[in-house]
Amino acid sequence: MDSDLGAATWLLFNILSKRGETVKENELEQLAWWAKEKGHLQQPSLLFSTIEWTEIGDLLWKTVIVGEKEGKTAQELGTVLGKVLRTLRLVSAEQVFESAAQEELDPPPSLRPKTEKFYGFGDHPIRGLRASVSPTPQDVIDQVTQAENFSPPQSAQTASEPEVSWSPRSVGGDIGGDSGGAEGRDGQSQVTPRRGGPQGGARGGD
């Protein structure tokens, strides 16, 4: 058995143990090796696929019907297969529920769970195996601090500089008043009185 498949089998064995299933590790390895020889489990990630194990179960059943020595071996492996399928179906149902709940919460992309790889023997990552890692409280604090640093400053109007609105009418009135006064003063200074005006007034008074 190659190292990647062996590491994935060991991980599946731990999942079965935590779920309360009594399975021997060598029996699980024998089942995985038998399935691989029959053309299944070509990728380590398929070890956690209920569809893949269902197809393996169909193949085991056909082998049991044939009988002989291989049929007896397939019958023994069928017990282990039943525990694997039961556990994986339960885990898949829980993941579907968690995904639906996560979509309802809909966190921002920066706070969504990160993914981590699983490492097997020799610290080599197992292909196709990843797990979600929830953000730490420090990650949340960093995201909030970063958002505050990039928020634009709000402009505040001071009381010493009140806003004054100008209308065209008021502007025109001021300009017209100034120009009218100027024209009046200029007009008065430019008008030449008639010669007979002041004398006539004096004569009338007399």
pLDDT in tens, 50-82: 999 999 999 999 988 887 777 788 888 999 999
Please, which residues have CB within 8 angstroms of residue 91's CB and are 6 or more apart in sequence?
Answer: 15, 19
Whether 174 shows a pLDDT value over 50: the answer reads: no
| pLDDT cut 70: percent of the chain above it | 46
| DSSP tag of 18 | H
pLDDT exceeds cutoff 50 at 17? yes
How does the average pLDDT of the chain come out, rounded?
70
Q: What is the pLDDT of residue 137?
A: 63
**In which element (H, E) is residue 3 found?**
helix 3-18
Cα(133)–Cα(144) distance, rounded to whole angstroms?
Answer: 19
Q: What is the pLDDT of residue 36?
A: 92
Over residues 34-60, mean pLDDT: 92
Encoding tokens for residue 143? 């995201």
pLDDT value at residue 85: 92
> What is the pLDDT confidence band of residue 136, given thresholds at 50, 70 and 90?
low
DSSP, residue by residue, 24-91: -HHHHHHHHHHHHHTT---SGGGGG-HHHHHHHHHHHHHHHHH-HHHHHHHHHHHHHHHHHHHHHHHH
* Most confident of the ranges 7-16, 110-119, 193-202: 7-16
- The per-residue pLDDT for 35 is 93
For residue 72, the model assigns a pLDDT of: 83
Quick check: 157 pLDDT over 90? no
Give the model's confidence band at 30: pLDDT under 50 very low, under 70 low, under 90 confident, else very high. Answer: very high
pLDDT band at 104 (very low <50, low <70, confident <90, very high): low
